[in-house]
A and B are shown apart, each in its own frame.
Chain A
Amino acid sequence: MAFRLKLVPDNTSYNFFRWQWLTFGISAVAMVASVVLILTMGLNFGIDFKGGTTIRTESPTAFEVGDYRQALNELNLGDVSITEVFDPSFGTTKHVAMIRIGTMDETGSVTPEQLNEIEAALQTVDPQVVFAAVESVGPKVSGELIKTAFYAVGAATIGILLYIWLRFEWQFALGGVVALVHDVLLTVGLFAAFQLRFDLTTIAALLTTLGYSVNDTVVVFDRLRENLVKYKTMPLIDVMNLTVNETLSRTIMTAVTTAIALTAMLIFGGDVVREFVIAMLWGVVVGCYSTIYVAKNIVLWLGVKRDWSKPDPKEKAPGEDIPAAFRDAP
């Protein structure tokens, strides 16, 4: 009777290593491309990291960014950027703009008088405009925030590395961490490519992605370890293929449910969290891919101890290193 939605058939035997050089090559190229993008285009840092002031305005009537800009130009605020925020959930009576004003001086914030001037100037253009949120961060703090953010990503990576190393073998830890670096780089690369706002919440999303991606990797590693003991003589590459096939259904299932939840957030969660959700959604896709095509490849190349119940076969048996001529005659 039972109808079951199965995205992955019961018994699969895909050869995930058939294209291993191609997929690994794609990953490598994507990583390099991300680094290049980050270096050339830079990241669209939010005020958390850049310092300065952002004002979110809301108005029931439509406005022209040009009019706003003209109104503000007369105030000599220096580096000002105005963007209109579009969101399907706004309807026709809500028009939102983000105004970003660069760092003014040491304190970094726009003074209350200037804020009043800005409000007055905008109200001459659009009498119904209100300030929904005003945030300013001084350059001193923003610099520190960047530093802590780096530490956070670094510390999480090291923590995860240590945990995998303790639970498994160093080859797994290395494979897992390369996959992590891959995911982080590709996510940051996406932000550079599309100039999405990169701020503290993005870092939170990045760290969550890290957790998710490693979660995925660890589940596969766990099964791999089990299979290594079970099929002692099977070549490593075949054990790996078997493992991925066995866990494929779970990998896809979890990725899909997470993606469903995140997509709901992306569509209905409002524009305030959009970047955050994009980072996580992309992280899920990349995390899935890197588990299968990056982490395992590394482990395959490094080789791995096959049987935990016996001493490492690579370690020589006692007396083996004594030349045959000197051994006791049989």
Chain B
Amino acid sequence: MLDIPFWKRLLILGLVALGLLYAAPNLFYNRVEQHNDAIAAVERNGFETPDEAAARAGWPNWLPSGLVNLGLDLRGGAHLLGEVHVQDVYKARMDALWPELRDALAAQRDVVGAVRRVQAPDGQLAVEIGNPDQMAKAVEIARGLATPVASLTGAGQSDLAISANGNRLSVQLSEAEKAATDDRTVQQSLEIIRRRIDEVGTREPTIMRQGKDRILIQVPGIGSAEELKQLIGTTAKLTFNPVISRTSDANARPGPGNVLLPSMDEPGVFYIIEESPVVTGEDLTDARPSFDQNGAPAVEFRFGPSGAKRFGAYTSANIGQPFAIVLDNQVISAPVIRQAITTGSGQISGAMNVEDSTRLAVLLRAGALPAEMTFLEERTIGPELGQDSVDAGRLSAVIATVAVVAYMIASYGLFGAFASIAVIVNIILILSIMSMMGATLTLPGIAGIVLTVGTAVDANVIIYERIREELRAGKRVVKAIDDGFSEAMSAIIDANVTSFIAAAVMFFLGSGPVKGFAVTLTIGLVTSVFTAIYLTRLLIVFWLEWRKPKELIL
């Protein structure tokens, strides 16, 4: 075990050197971070300001510039866990289906009789027909509107579940379609949240799906979870709906197919509008802040071709009628149509200031969240607390290392020094691997590193104790060292595999800080086995070859 071929020596020392190189940027954290930020800004904006150029020059381009990503608890920032109300989409789908179903059934009025939409739970569309004995025909018509489910698991199944009872026909989404829709809804929400956060341009946000209908959002450097919530908690669902009437009665009964919505800027005023919109925000191709003819802040928007066509057709058929611009279930304004709008562009004005109009434009451009979100977990960590934690973590890691090194040298002398070198290299390797992976270091992660300092020597201790025994048994130095290493191997592997099991469990079942801890722990296990077995052995071999000792006191 002690004849290490030259290429292996080179490989071991090479890996250590590489580790040093990749850990180095963390020593100059601020400078490297500014360098990286400047590069990102240049990529985003396409030009470089003198400040950015200076920041970029602060760290040589040819050096690695990966940094250990500091977690929210170390940097400060906001953390949100949101739940997407996937059921919202079922209702929207049914409301959109209604005009289609109505027209299809109306075409067969002679057979099925009069058609009327009746009250039904959300996510269900219930229709009463005049001739119950012709229900089979009505079901057939409804079935004609169904399409196959577009997902792998639900392939071949219909997207609508249709049932009939007396004169009542109910339609809802089939289970397979619900599953497919849920998945789409969450994906879409994820994408829209990402776009909204990117528009604000903060550093490295984490936006990921968690479980079936949850989204985890972590944004470092943002002031509070509240701010973040305002940005992504707004649905920004924009629709243009026909107006039935205007009322001041908050309890007015809107009738089936209609809804009663409050006005945004006139308190006490309500509008009864048709629930099915003429055009929705999804048809928008652009939105930007501007001013209306009175100089008040407004948002200018533009429809895509199909939206423009529908909007044109509706406005030309309803000149003189009011129509409502609805944002998140509030009527922003309800202007009267003066002429057909066929150009596909328009303006939203109402009670807003410049800030509001800018935000509304951002939200409209990024698109509406397909469903509402509620927040199950919110955390804000102030930057000072983060800095304090980093300082405390660093101090305790240094003290722990010094104390362990002193103890090891006192116990094993020169071999203790070898083990200490291994421990220090081990910490550097952990940091370098984390920098390369872009892994996030959290507060428990620092505790994990400190713990690794303690346990990393374990493998060395097992080996050294074994060597001591072999020496006591009267073996010669080289033989004792050789046997010590090989005999200790099985214990070292067993010990590390069991720790690895615990770390793996933490990674797969844990969330947030626990996961971060598991990552540090796992990296620490791998690097400590490397340093304890390979690096220490190499150092000992160098020493053996240099001094050719006849005896060893351990």
Q: Do A and B bind each other?
A: yes
Q: Which residues of A contact B (CB under 8 A)?
A: 1-6, 10-11, 56, 58, 89, 107-109, 112, 115, 130-138, 140-141, 145, 148, 151-152, 155-156, 159-160, 163-164, 167, 200-201, 203-204, 207-208, 210-212, 214-216, 218-219, 221-223, 246-247, 249-250, 253-254, 256-262, 264-265, 267-270, 272-273, 276-277, 280
B499 near A212: Cβ-Cβ < 8 Å? yes
Say how far A207's CB is from chain B's closest CB, in angstroms. 5
Residues in A whose Cβ lies below 8 Å from that of B382: 130-133
Given contacts A155-B509, A200-B511, A204-B513, contact A137 B376 (CB under 8 A): yes
Say how far B518's CB is from chain A's closest CB, in angstroms. 8
Interface string of B397-411 (1 = CB under 8 A from A): 101110110011011
Decide if B308 is an interface residue (CB 8 Å cutoff). no
Say how far A282's CB is from chain B's closest CB, in angstroms. 13
B379 near A262: Cβ-Cβ < 8 Å? no
Given contacts A152-B509, A200-B511, contact A2 B450 (CB under 8 A): no
Q: Which residues of B contact A (CB under 8 A)?
A: 73, 81, 83, 224-226, 229, 374-382, 384-385, 388-389, 392-393, 395-397, 399-401, 403-404, 407-408, 410-413, 443-444, 446-448, 450-451, 453-455, 457-458, 461-462, 465, 468-469, 472, 490-491, 494-506, 509-514, 517-518, 521, 553-554
Given contacts A212-B499, A276-B444, contact A5 B506 (CB under 8 A): no
B389 near A270: Cβ-Cβ < 8 Å? yes
Say how far A26's CB is from chain B's closest CB, in angstroms. 25
Query: Could you tell me the distance between the alpha carbons of A265 and B377 in the complex, rounded to whole angstroms?
Result: 29
Say how far A287's CB is from chain B's closest CB, in angstroms. 11
A270 near B505: Cβ-Cβ < 8 Å? no
A109 near B443: Cβ-Cβ < 8 Å? no
Residues in B whose Cβ lies below 8 Å from that of A254: 454-455, 457-458, 461
Residues in B whose Cβ lies below 8 Å from that of A4: 410-413, 553-554
Say how far B202's CB is from chain A's closest CB, in angstroms. 19
Q: In chain B, what residue has the closest Cβ to A153?
A: B505
Q: In chain A, what residue has the closest Cβ to B399?
A: A264
Query: Could you tell me the distance between the alpha carbons of A222 and B518 in the complex, rounded to whole angstroms?
Result: 26
A218 near B491: Cβ-Cβ < 8 Å? yes
Given contacts A156-B501, A200-B510, A211-B498, contact A260 B400 (CB under 8 A): yes
Q: In chain B, what residue has the closest Cβ to A259?
A: B454
B502 near A160: Cβ-Cβ < 8 Å? yes
Query: Could you tell me the distance between the alpha carbons of A80 and B92 in the complex, rounded to whole angstroms?
Result: 41
A253 near B465: Cβ-Cβ < 8 Å? yes
B411 near A253: Cβ-Cβ < 8 Å? yes
| Interface majority SS (helix, strand, loop, mixed), chain A | helix
Query: Could you tell me the distance between the alpha carbons of A293 and B456 in the complex, rounded to whole angstroms?
Result: 25
B404 near A261: Cβ-Cβ < 8 Å? yes
Q: In chain B, what residue has the closest Cβ to A254?
A: B458
- The 6 A-B pairs at the shortest CB distance, nearest first, are namely A258-B454, A261-B454, A270-B392, A211-B502, A264-B400, A211-B499
B461 near A268: Cβ-Cβ < 8 Å? no
Residues in B whose Cβ lies below 8 Å from that of A211: 498-503, 521
Q: B451's contact among A155, A221, A222, A280, by CB below 8 Å, is which?
A: A280
Residues in B whose Cβ lies below 8 Å from that of A204: 444, 506, 510, 513-514, 517-518
A215 near B411: Cβ-Cβ < 8 Å? no
Query: Could you tell me the distance between the alpha carbons of A276 and B521 in the complex, rounded to whole angstroms?
Result: 15
Which of A56, A130, A148, A156 has the largest count of B CB atoms less than 10 A from its CB?
Answer: A156
- 19 example contacts (A-B, Cβ-Cβ < 8 A) are as follows A1-B553, A4-B412, A10-B468, A11-B472, A107-B374, A109-B375, A130-B382, A131-B380, A133-B385, A135-B378, A141-B377, A152-B506, A156-B505, A204-B517, A215-B455, A216-B495, A258-B455, A260-B404, A265-B450
